[in-house]
A and B are shown apart, each in its own frame.
Chain A
Amino acid sequence: MKHIAIIGNGIAGITAARHIRKLSDYKITVISAESEYFFSRTALMYVYMGHMKFEHTQPYENWFWEKNNIQLKHGFVKEVNTENKRLLFEDGSDLTYDDLIIASGSKPNKFGWPGENLKGVQGLYSKQDLELLEENAPNNEVCKRAVIVGGGLIGIELAEMLRTRNIPVTMLVRDRYFWGSVLPEGEAKLIGNHIKDHHIELKLNTQLKEIVSDENGRASAIITSEGEKIECNLVGLTAGVRPSIDFLNDSGIELGKGVKVNKYLETNIPNVYAIGDCAEQLEPTGFRKPVEAVWYTGRMMGEAVAQTICGNKMAYRPGVWFNSAKFLDIEYQTYGWVWAKPQDYEQQFYWEHPDGKKCIRISFHKENHAILGINTFGIRLSHEKFDKWISEEKSVEFVIENLHKAHFDPEFYKKHYSAIKKSFDNQFQLAN
């Protein structure tokens, strides 16, 4: 019987395993060095904040794997020998496979900052990072201040986590606004204000120059690009992630930023596939980046590769882009593409609620008014509707008119659709 080995028990690897199991009775082994069972990485923050215990982040009960005949192997793959189809583990054991799926995920970026390997300097990606954080920042006596480098999604999560233990937090953000590489000014300012409301210090236009050590090799301060010195006991490095593929260096598998794959998620070596955060698409779909490090794309690549492996060759062809996040108390959803700096064919409509905690931005084509994307903050909208409207290229007027049909806020919530429509009509004087 064919043996499928999967390196990585994250959402990508596990989705592949589950779908292969549904389609076949191949032998499946899922390998991870991080945790015994699949857990939701996106929920790590809630464990530190005390909303959940670690076991609650595990989407399946422990008996699930045996019942579905999915073998789990705990261990770190040191080397992949594609000629003999053999995996070599750090503990000396090995495993042979027929098909290999690499789903090894990411690791936090480091940019060669002086002091980046000191004690008290860490990223937030793995379960081990969470344990380390519990050691580095158990309370505000051990950790009198934290500096977070990088204003992205993980950075703000880390800041929120630390604030629940009353640890003062300073965030260094390279852009002019919070997450300014992705968010247009309106949204970025709105979130920036909300961050300040939560007593998190935002230093915009600021980068890390170096991390200063104390006599024990622990971080004791950082120096910013402006030359300011900030005393701290924890430095959180959250300036993005990159594929975790060092163990593949001598495998003959073609690597770039990540593991290079064609649209069938195949690498240059037959029977070896790569999915999830670690994959780098040779031909990315539409505006998508070659490396997509989000939960959903890992899941979708897992769904696609399972088909291919089970004899139904299937390209990874994701639909309309979507994503979501939560900035402290403000939820964010996005569908399609809204650029921080509008493209030349693009026009944008922005509406903000007077309370400064809700806004939406709709991007549409200048000429034919076809909707291109939407950002929504503090208002839940239906994924299904926007998936449909964007792929059917509905006009922005249609979308504004029918926005209430995409309503997904809980019952009795105040609706803002007529205010949005009014504002749209005013801005574009299309109401004639």
Chain B
Amino acid sequence: MNTTVQRNMSLSGEPPAALSAIQKFSVVLGMFGLGVLLLAMFNIDFPNKTTWLAISLSAITLGVVIFSYGAYANKSAGIKNDGVYQKSISSRGLLGWLLGIALTGFYVVLYFYPQYLGLRNEGDNVGVIALFDPLSKFLSGNPASQWFVYGTLYTIAILAFGIKFLWKYRHNRYEVLRTLSVMFFQASFAFIIPEVMARLNNSEAYNIPYYDLKNIWPLNYYNFEQYRVDGFISSGNLGIFLLLFGIVSILVITPILTYFYGKRWYCSWVCGCGGLAETSGDAFRQLSDKSLFAWRVERWVVHSVLVFSVLMTTAVIHSYLSYDADKYLLNKDTFLISVAVFLGLLFAVIWYFKKEEFKKDARYGAIGYLAITLGLIGIHYMSGSSVFIFNPETLRSTYAFLIGSIFSGVIGTGFYPIFGNRVWCRFGCPMAAILGLQQRLFSKFRITTNGGQCISCGNCSTYCEMGIDVRAYAQKGENIIRASCVGCGICSAVCPRGVLKLENGSTKGRINSEAVLLGNDVDLLNLIQENKASHKG
């Protein structure tokens, strides 16, 4: 046997069964639904818009659902990753690239050329947006916008692919519950409630900006812009409540929940971006980059976005605060000073309690960022000029363009089939960065490993959408406590040896980088452990 070893052959096999008849039908059905939208986009005027919209959206939904039925219904419950790396769509093959290009194109049109979708500032909408007018009028009373079209398709994607996911992971109650959760939050908080809230605005007393309650600053970086804050303030108690809720969400609710459950409570149970990634993006989770290099890039990029978003928001709020505090309770100076004091305190607390947890480069990074932020605030405060290094409006529009549109939409979702389904969550989301820091430093959440049972097979790392090399920890017996882990639970689900368990437990001994694999003589294990400990730090 060993003498034939030099032979070299590619190890990429054939995909398993081709599509079944029922799946082929479902693909045609779904394509038909999309086709209706496409025709509408090219200004084919459908006579009865309500009917055609219903036909189109039902066809898309049913297409996905029937496809899932064909894929999973007749198979026994369990892991369904057969052929993932043999199918073109899920292994960066031709279909994957085509889908990536199509999605990217869609996002470019959506963000930058909504007129091609039929958006009209004057007069009635045309094209595909017009097709959605009846639904929008039914919900909010207003004609549709490109964002309404997007929101509807987004929700349908989460619901339809959510059903697919539920089928696929029907043996795993953690996956089932958290998928039902993201489906619920998308359908209600992100879609129905804001539309219905918009109805309130028909009355003079209300001027509430569109508000998806589960979208928390800095993910919705625009939440504290002037038009919104003015809207909230002018909408009575409800408006004030919403404004306060926005502040409390990030300062109080988020830290508490993250302390108890890790960032997963948000990223894979509530968040819409996470919801889309987990459902529609599930087929692409294996495409994330697991290299150490990618991890380094991730840390720098995502924390830079966080700093950018803090600066930008500070500058924007500062720009509309006045020198006296009559309207917004804060004046320019007190606001800046409080931001600086808050950041300084936060940093001091982290430094005092958790200095050990920081790796060297993270430490430099943190100091650097804090210095820059305080520096900018300081310069501004000293000079008293209204210019916050850049013009706040330039800062805001740059952020909206680079982060809000290009990163989260075009790259984040458009590139699902190329870079995996969580590119945005991993590299770009400032909210994930905050939750991640907290998860790493102050949380009860961890993934524990089961003694010495790991066989280093690599399923966990391969299917980690956040690009975490889970195996690297599991095969050393260490807990996995990574800032980026969104707690999707898939590593635990795909592990064929039952090694991984997501848990909330005592914070003591949570980070156990001296752990060793169980199985050997106790004396030897102690020795290895000592040796490991002495090599750290």
Contacts and interface: CB of A to CB of B under 8 A. Distances in A.
A214 B7 CA distance: 25
Interface stretch (A181-189, A317-325, A392-400): A317-325
B375 interface: no
Contact of A164 (B9, B78, B83, B171): B83
B5 A59 contact: no
Nearest to A131: B9
Contacts of A131: 7, 9, 11
Interface stretch (B172-180, B203-211, B377-385): B172-180
Contacts of B291: 61
B200 to A, nearest CB: 37
A392 B163 CA distance: 47
Interface string A411-422: 111100000000
A159 interface: no
A50 B524 contact: no
A315 interface: yes
A387 B525 CA distance: 14
A102 to B, nearest CB: 14
A46 interface: yes
B2 A34 contact: yes
Contact of A50 (B85, B452, B502, B521): B85
B1 interface: yes
Contact of B498 (A165, A329, A380, A384): A380
Contacts of A315: 521
B513 to A, nearest CB: 14
A67 to B, nearest CB: 10
A296 interface: yes
Interface in B54-99: 76-79, 81-87
B5 A410 contact: no
A408 B86 CA distance: 32
B517 A299 contact: yes
Interface stretch (B14-22, B105-113, B424-432): B14-22
Interface in A197-218: 197-198
Interface residues of A, number: 80
B23 interface: no
A410 B519 contact: no
Interface in A75-119: 76, 90, 107-108
Contact of B1 (A48, A107, A329): A107
A329 B519 contact: no
Contacts of A197: 76
B173 to A, nearest CB: 4
A304 B13 contact: no
A406 B166 CA distance: 28
Nearest to A387: B518
A13 B319 CA distance: 64
Interface in B471-502: 471-472, 475, 489, 492-494, 496-498, 501-502
Given A48-B13, A382-B451, A57 B457 contact: yes
Interface string B450-481: 11110111110110000000011001000000
B452 A322 contact: yes
B82 A164 contact: yes
Contact of A296 (B471, B519, B524): B519
A414 B520 contact: no
A316 B524 CA distance: 9
Nearest to A59: B456
A53 B497 CA distance: 19
Given A51-B85, A319-B520, A380 B450 contact: yes
Interface string B273-295: 00000000000000000011000
B520 A300 contact: yes
B453 A49 contact: no
Ordered nearest first, which 8 A-B pairs have the shortest CB separation? A383-B451, A329-B78, A380-B498, A43-B457, A317-B521, A50-B86, A412-B173, A50-B83
Interface of B: 1-5, 7, 9, 11-17, 76-79, 81-87, 171-174, 177, 291-292, 450-453, 455-459, 461-462, 471-472, 475, 489, 492-494, 496-498, 501-503, 517-522, 524, 527-528, 531-532, 535
Interface of A: 11, 19, 22-23, 33-34, 40, 42-43, 46-54, 56-59, 61, 76, 90, 107-108, 123, 125-131, 134-135, 138-139, 164-166, 194, 197-198, 244, 295-296, 299-300, 303-304, 307, 312, 314-319, 322, 324-326, 328-329, 331, 333, 380, 382-384, 387, 408-414
Given A46-B459, A414-B173, 6 more contacts: A59-B472, A125-B1, A131-B9, A131-B11, A324-B453, A384-B451
